[in-house]
A and B are shown apart, each in its own frame.
Chain A
Amino acid sequence: MNPSKSKKFEVLTFIEKLGPVLALVFLVLLVTVMNPSFLEINNILNLLRQVSINALIAFGMTFVILTAGIDLSVGSILAFTGAVTANLIVAGVQPVFALIIGIVLGGILGAINGLIITIGGAAPFIVTLATMTIYRGATYVFTNGNPITGANMTNSFFFQVLGRGYFLGIPFPIVIMLIGFIILYVLLHKMPFGRKTYAIGGNPKAAFVSGIKINKVTIWIYSISGMMAAIAGVILTSRLNSAQPDAGTSYEMDAIAAVVLGGTSLAGGKGRLLGTLVGALIIGTLNNGMNLLGISSFYQQIVKGIVIIIAVLLDRRKSN
């Protein structure tokens, strides 16, 4: 390879890495110009809190998509684990234990996805499409279709803090999002597990021959996705002070959008967790900005869709 080609390559990868950030900066400037109150600290904290739930789900989704998979069941896992956690607390279980049980349950539901996909050899899209309705149905069965709420939830300081509390003036969901980001960042970019994730997405056959236990890693990845959805579910339940059986409907779409906007390839093997955080922020800024500007929520959906298409088109251009 000659030097000039490699230089060009470096510039390209630089833009590739920075593309989503530039888009976010542009968006922030645009909204600020149109309504300067966007940059007020309260609004920013509000925005970040709104983003946190989607971001947590999207972090887990990043692992899944890096293996060229997809997890459509996250919204249903969120609802089911939220309902179970709420029910346990209402029944008198210590909120801390209820929370742990909820997260473990999310991990198990995710692992079921992973098991069917690996051992059963079925396509992730179909498997998680099916479990999406199964887990949602299970939620309705479990809750009888009614929201779960109770005095134990309202009276538990621990549980209230999760969704509504502050830490050094920062809303607690944001803190959880940042902790989740750091843990998963280390896992993905600093540990063998992350490298194996990329290898499975890059070339599963080569990864297998190189001694990577593909099934084990893949099951863990779907399990992580389930756990992240469960954490988001608990935050949402705390925030609303009740578990809604239809919570999290279509959350998988926002999570996938955040991952793709962040530059992760749906074909697997390429992408970064920081990109996903930026992607989630882009979606959050769009929502928040359009609300500030008084754009009707009907139009908001259209704009969001258009932004995603533009992002994907730009991404295709890069890879060609």
Chain B
Amino acid sequence: MKIEMTGITKAFGQNKVLKGVNFDILPGEIHALMGENGAGKSTLMNILTGIIAQDEGLIKVDDQIVNYPNAMVAEQAGISFIHQEMNNYGEMTVLENMFINREITNRFGINDTQTMRKQAQLYLEKLGVAIKLDQPINTLSVGNQQLIEIAKSLMTDAQIIIMDEPTAALSEKEIQNLFKIVKELQKGNVSFVYISHRMEEIMMLCDRVTVMRDGISVSTNNIKEININKIVKDMVGRELTDFYPKRTPKFGDVFLEVRNFSSTGLFNNINFKVHAGEIMAFSGLMGAGRTEIMRSIFGIDSFDSGQIYLHNKHIINKTPADAISNGIGFITENRKDEGLILEDSISNNIDLPSLDGFTKRGILDTKIIDIFVDKLIKRLHIKAMSSQDTVSSLSGGNQQKVVVAKWIGAGSKVLILDEPTRGVDVGAKHDIYELMNELTDRGVAIIMISSDLPEVIGMSDTITVIYEGQVSGTLTTKETTQEEIMTLATGGASNESIKK
């Protein structure tokens, strides 16, 4: 199937989101679509799949002009869109989810489970995955849920599969598996549109790349004829010479120390130290226990044994409230779930952990809160019309900045950042990195959980690698390589490289 989109425009009210975009997909190619958040990638794909209609411009599928009235019709025509947030029915089984809204019934209108089961099995085998069809879908890893989505697309005979940030929540192993499957399907002449912020993946997987910026398509190139710097330049319109801002770390005393920290089945005998002014990366594969360790330190989850010391003083965090009063802040991995009250204003989100400090005789001092919030909005370059805008109206990057602002505002001395730049565009990433450096200059200790190895190398001073719930290595960033970290993260011990 061949697709050609020419001169596509779209405006929401006064806001022109697309200003004449050209985009084409060849049969059997993997086409990367890149651009900062808000560049118009999703809008373009929503137009292609009939979710919204363009104002101007032509869409040709195999040289025929088409305008799909809705996503269902596009799907029947062979174009399916796997959204970033999967629309699963968590409590229903894998099988029920695969056939939702297209159940196969016998002549009495009763669901024909046998036939559906056979079909589902067939497609899962095609993908080379073993997933039990009768388990609730929310018991699957995000990676496997994604594979179910792909299987669903294949069941509708998709010729073109659009994937929006498919690897954002996948482990390294799952990513490799996904890529293998994508390449396999490509041989069967299926095309992919691959929306992602991850350069390395795109260089590895894709055939061509189209970069969008502010509603226009800036460039389309063969991957072989382009390099990362050029793509980044096209995306931001400026050269990002120092993508990871430099700084000279000044370590203070040991700030936070964790000793013999254990929780049955999750992590075992964890020891590490962070100094004031240090950025320590917490590296490892998804599911290695990194997040669980931090959640226990912060008092969200309980743990079995071990101690936490702050300035050599033993502290106990029974709840997040205790952790906060001990000067710890936690930017959780899932900002929509645990970081933000999406339907509330920016202001009400930012001052939430600090509320009790803003009272005068028990009454909230709104003037001081306004000043406080405005300062943080400026300092973090949060792009919004006013501090009263709802957080849900912001882009992903700006939402993440609101979460960061919350904790800076709360005066945290130790900041735990769990995947702080996931799903965040390049510009906002840069802002967050600079802010991390600024904070460490002031003596804040930062623990950064990250699955992005270049980010780990680019930002951290020291690295603690976690493998299957244990510390598999403590490294000094200057003296290590991505390969070494990856080896430790996957259980390949290289003892001589473990420096204590």
Contact = CB atoms under 8 A, between A and B. Distances in A.
> Do A and B actually bind?
yes
A199 B353 CA distance: 11
Given A195-B348, A209-B330, A210-B352, A5 B363 contact: no
Contacts of B330: 209
Contacts of B410: 211
Contacts of A294: none
Contact of A2 (B15, B362, B363): B15
Main secondary structure on chain A at its contact with chain B?
helix
A318 interface: no
Contacts of B337: 205-206
A187 B330 CA distance: 28
A5 B384 CA distance: 13
B13 A210 contact: no
Interface in B289-347: 298, 300, 319-321, 323-325, 330, 332, 337-344
A203 interface: yes
A195 B355 contact: yes
Given A186-B363, A209-B320, A1 B341 contact: no
28 contacts: A1-B15, A1-B384, A2-B15, A3-B385, A5-B15, A190-B363, A192-B358, A192-B359, A192-B364, A195-B348, A195-B351, A196-B355, A198-B348, A199-B348, A203-B338, A205-B337, A206-B338, A209-B298, A209-B330, A209-B339, A210-B352, A210-B353, A211-B319, A211-B321, A211-B324, A211-B410, A213-B321, A270-B343
Contacts of B362: 191
B385 A6 contact: yes
A20 interface: no
Interface of A: 1-6, 8, 186, 190-192, 195-196, 198-199, 202-203, 205-213, 269-270
Contacts of A2: 12-15
Contacts, number: 95
Given A209-B300, A211-B321, A5 B406 contact: no
Contacts of A211: 319-321, 323-325, 353, 410
A198 B345 CA distance: 12
Main secondary structure on chain B at its contact with chain A?
mixed
A5 B364 contact: no
Interface string B373-401: 00000000000110001000100000000
Nearest to B325: A211
Contact of A191 (B14, B353, B363): B363
Interface in B5-23: 12-15
Contacts of B342: 202-203
B356 interface: yes
A203 to B, nearest CB: 4
A249 to B, nearest CB: 36
Contacts of B343: 202, 269-270
**Interface size band for B:** 35 or more
Contact of B14 (A3, A186, A192, A199): A3
The 6 closest A-B pairs by CB, nearest first: A202-B341, A211-B324, A2-B15, A192-B355, A211-B321, A203-B341
A192 B369 CA distance: 12
Contact of A269 (B341, B352, B353, B389): B341
Given A2-B13, A203-B342, A206-B340, A195 B364 contact: yes
A207 B393 contact: no
A10 to B, nearest CB: 10
Contact of A209 (B338, B363, B384): B338
Given A192-B359, A213-B321, A206 B364 contact: no
A186 B360 CA distance: 13
Contacts of A190: 363-364
Contacts of A191: 359, 362-364
Given A198-B344, A211-B324, A205 B363 contact: no
Contact of A4 (B14, B356, B359, B406): B14
Contacts of A213: 319, 321
A217 to B, nearest CB: 11
Of listed B15, B337, B343, residue having the most chain A CB within 10 A: B343
B114 to A, nearest CB: 37
A270 B320 CA distance: 25
Contacts of A6: 385, 389
B66 to A, nearest CB: 29
B389 to A, nearest CB: 7
A270 B341 CA distance: 12
A269 B321 contact: no
Nearest to A6: B385
A186 B356 CA distance: 15
Given A1-B393, A191-B364, A210 B15 contact: no
